[in-house]
Structure 1
Amino acid sequence: MVKNKFALESTSISEIVVYGIQEKKGNDIVRLDLRNIHSSVADYFVVCHADSATQVKAIAASVEEEVYKALKQDPKRKEGLQHGEWILLDYIDVVVHIFKTEKREFYGIEDLWGDAEMQFYKSA
């Protein structure tokens, strides 16, 4: 029963994250469901990209703002804010990857987790 509560929490966080990305027009939003992959480090990865470092930073700020407004939760860890090429926001069970376009193509996160169920979202 407790596991279901945490699963619902991570699903809710991932949906709020997607909304925060959509608010700042993130491109090619994908939610990877990692819950059935035994070696996964989180329940979900949410991935998107933007064409400029400024937009990457704005998307990250929007995600943080929306999650905080809804759940009063800050990311446990943040990486990449200084350069804005690949920002990672770690909400423990949900990890958000916000890339600059060419960095997303280079790293191919979705390919690394090819066994994950993927859900695609449109920008708002």
Structure 2
Amino acid sequence: MVKSPIANHTTRDLVNAIIEAADDKKADSIVCLDLKELENAVCQYFIVCNANSTTQVGAIADGVHDKVFEKLGETPWHSEGYENCLWVLLDYGDVVLHVFQTEQRDFYKLEELWADAKRVSYEQN
């Protein structure tokens, strides 16, 4: 496991905290793409999920932000998309979360762009 350079936890701990937080906020179709083996990857993991309203997209992103800080003491290095909450991105360095409004996820098909990545889907609790 890779240790985070700024905290005493692994990248996998970060992935797990993000997935748990998204699930807590009822994110739909949570998928983790393992990009570590891909040549031109911008990070180690993409986590992708969606919601049916912009309000819920914002709530999922806020919930992830809060839970990751609470559990691991980390905040995103960069975030964008809060202006309209159609697609919110939280960049934690080695892990990037994409929270889409459902129609936007269907349109951009981010998972298809990274089809060579190992993919793990998570069932909603």
TM-score by length of 1: 0.94
Cα deviation digits, residues 2-38 of structure 1 (max 9, x gap) = x7435x7221111110001000100000000001111
Flag structure 2 segments of 5+ consecutive residues without an equivalent: none
Supply the distance in 2 between the matched residues of 1:22 and 1:41 (Cα, whole angstroms).
24
Supply the distance in 2 between the matched residues of 1:103 and 1:94 (Cα, whole angstroms).
21
Are 1:5 and 2:13 matched, yes or no?
Answer: no
Does the residue aligned with 2:3 lie in a helix, a strand or coil?
helix
Flag structure 1 segments of 5+ consecutive residues without an equivalent: none
Instruction: Tell me which residue corresponds to 1:114.
Output: 115
Cα deviation digits, residues 34-76 of structure 1 (max 9, x gap) = 0111110000000000000000000001100111011111000
* RMSD, matched Cα: 1.2
Instruction: Tell me which residue corresponds to 2:54.
Output: 53
Does the residue aligned with 1:5 lie in a helix, a strand or coil?
coil
Structure number with higher helix proportion: 1
Name the aligned partner's letter for residue 74 of structure 1: T
TM-score by length of 2: 0.93
Supply the distance in 2 between the matched residues of 1:4 and 1:59 (Cα, whole angstroms).
26
Alpha-carbon spacing, 1:4–1:82, altered in 2? closer, same or farther (3 Å): closer
Q: Where in structure 1 do 4 or more consecutive aligned residues deviate above 6 Å? A: none
Aligned length: 121
Instruction: Tell me which residue corresponds to 2:27.
Output: 26
Instruction: Tell me which residue corresponds to 1:63.
Output: 64
Supply the distance in 2 between the matched residues of 1:44 and 1:21 (Cα, whole angstroms).
15
